[in-house]
Chains A and B, each alone.
Chain A
Amino acid sequence: MSERLKHNPDNQSSTTSHRVAVIGAGPAGAAAAQTASMLGLAVDWYEKETFAGGKLNRYYQLFPGREEAEVVYRDLFDPNHYREVNKQFGRFVTGIEKQAGRLRILVDESQAKDADAVIVANGFDFFDARLKEEFGYGIYPRVITSPDLEYHFKTDISRLRRGEEDPEAVAFVHCVGSRDQQVGVPYCSRVCCITGIKQAIEIREQFPRCRVYNFYIDIRAYGNGYEELYRQAQEEYAIRFIRGRVSEASEDQYGRIRVKAEDTLLGKPVKLTVDWLVLLVGMVPACPELMLNGQSDSHGNGRSFLKADNPHASQAVASCPGLFLAGACSGPMSIPESVASGRSAAVQVFEYLKNRNSSL
């Protein structure tokens, strides 16, 4: 594609007159903005925060290769990789309107800006673990979620110590707000299994004498290198994987967390007291405010992932020409998948605008 650009300067000038709006500056939005600008499109880049990176800013190391999140961040947001980008950071997009063949981005309640194409990359939210009250998140101080733990690793992992002492035992609970009919999350969030495996390894590295347990229903180590990391966790780090869901957690007199579960492979009940209980929370659709022509495609708890019309071949939303999806706004994704999805959306926008031009 870039080769064709070099050989055909006319093509470039014809597309620069087009404006593309990218909503969201996480990995998917970054990849989309980068690629779109490199293809010669004028990009308006919206982000509700005043800084780029999204949730990546709170991550420590990334699975499965354990790269530092900061390194990935630096690479994704390197200014040398961008052309003509109009950063609209700290601006909240409240909706998208379709008007006379052009799309209008509604910003901060009152303002609006036109665009020829829009790439939605507003990402996801973490499942609110308080909805699974039996695990005690928000009630017991020593029950935390996987993003909480990730942030402790990034900032100060010694917070997990009790005085001078390392934690003796840590347990991870898989599928919290994932594959759970009870809280309206029927789908699998895909990346929590591997997150639990990675974080278990990190805990063992940080506190070598700490016993680490993973309570799982199924281990879904689907990506490249995931299964290897799983085996590594068992063989090299002696992390104990117990097949069985923790049914409830309670606090003992020292504030430690007591969990009950059934080891379903042994057919025996297990009781365990840990210093920290880490809930591997699933991914849920981001806030439903982003609406198209005043309508949001939502049901149940008012949220749903956005849907591309042909998820196999295209990220375009056919009901609204010019609207494309990138990253986890269309469903749970890992960072590499989000980046790939962002780049692909940008290329599809380029093709879309070119075809529209030639037909005019």
Chain B
Amino acid sequence: MSTQEKFGFGMNEGRMLDLDLVDERLNDKLTQKVPSWRSCLRCGACVATCPVGIGMLGMATAAGINCRNRQVTASGNPVTVKNCLLCGKCQLVCPRGIQTRLMAIELMKEIQNHAIAV
């Protein structure tokens, strides 16, 4: 790469989401099992209410579902579904009533199958 190509302003590559590199297969598989997941507004109520600080949004980000990039984590720390207690508070505060508990179980199964890196 020449220095000329690197010149100028650009996106922060560390935070960049490259939508050209999206692998939608996992996303499709999971949203087929939990269709209500597609209606997520990314409002974050689930994360805020989560007793162990994960929430479905964090899980999804970790799993690369909505962000569509497997490498991205919520806040720099690897967020792990394994901490989930399935307590269901996220499901109650969710304005769309998403079946978050089922999603957690399905996500975890994918992690066990090594389809998702955590």
Contacts and interface: CB of A to CB of B under 8 A. Distances in A.
Interface string A240-264: 0001111110000000000011111
Contact of A264 (B57, B92, B97): B57
Q: Which of A179, A181, A245, A246 gathers most chain B CB within 10 Å?
A: A245
Contacts of B95: 175, 179-182, 217, 245
A116 B88 CA distance: 55
Contacts of B49: 247-248, 260
Interface string A54-91: 00000000000000000000000000000000000000
A217 B93 contact: no
B18 to A, nearest CB: 18
Interface size on B, as a range, is: 20 to 34
B17 to A, nearest CB: 12
B11 to A, nearest CB: 16
Contact of B44 (A181, A218, A262): A262
Given A262-B55, A267-B61, A247 B48 contact: yes
Contacts of B53: 269
Contacts of A181: 95-97
B94 interface: yes
A134 interface: yes
Interface string B47-75: 11100010101000100000000000011
B29 interface: no
B97 A261 contact: no
Contacts of B87: none
A134 B47 contact: no
Given A247-B49, A267-B61, A267-B75, A261 B93 contact: no
B41 interface: yes
Interface string B25-61: 0000000000000000111111111000101010001
A242 to B, nearest CB: 9
B47 A269 contact: yes
A356 interface: no
A246 B48 contact: yes
Contacts of A175: 95
Nearest to A242: B44
A174 B22 CA distance: 33
Interface in A145-202: 175, 179-182
A248 B55 CA distance: 14
B48 A248 contact: yes
Given A182-B97, A262-B57, A269 B48 contact: yes
A6 interface: no
B32 to A, nearest CB: 21
Contact of A262 (B45, B92, B94): B45
A268 interface: yes
A334 to B, nearest CB: 23
Interface in A261-280: 261-264, 267-269
B61 A244 contact: no
A262 B79 CA distance: 15
A182 B97 CA distance: 6
B48 A134 contact: no
Contacts of B96: 181
A261 B47 CA distance: 8
Contact of B45 (A179, A247, A263, A268): A247
Contacts of A244: 43-45, 48
16 contacts: A175-B95, A181-B95, A181-B97, A217-B95, A243-B42, A244-B48, A245-B95, A246-B48, A247-B44, A247-B45, A247-B48, A262-B43, A262-B48, A264-B43, A267-B61, A269-B48
Given A244-B45, A267-B74, 15 more contacts: A134-B93, A180-B95, A182-B95, A217-B41, A217-B43, A218-B41, A245-B48, A246-B45, A247-B44, A247-B49, A248-B93, A260-B48, A262-B46, A263-B44, A264-B44
Interface of B: 41-49, 53, 55, 57, 61, 74-75, 92-97
Interface of A: 134, 175, 179-182, 217-218, 243-248, 260-264, 267-269
**Considering the complex of A and B, which 7 residue pairs feature the smallest CB-CB distances, nearest first?**
A262-B44, A247-B48, A245-B43, A247-B49, A244-B44, A262-B47, A264-B44
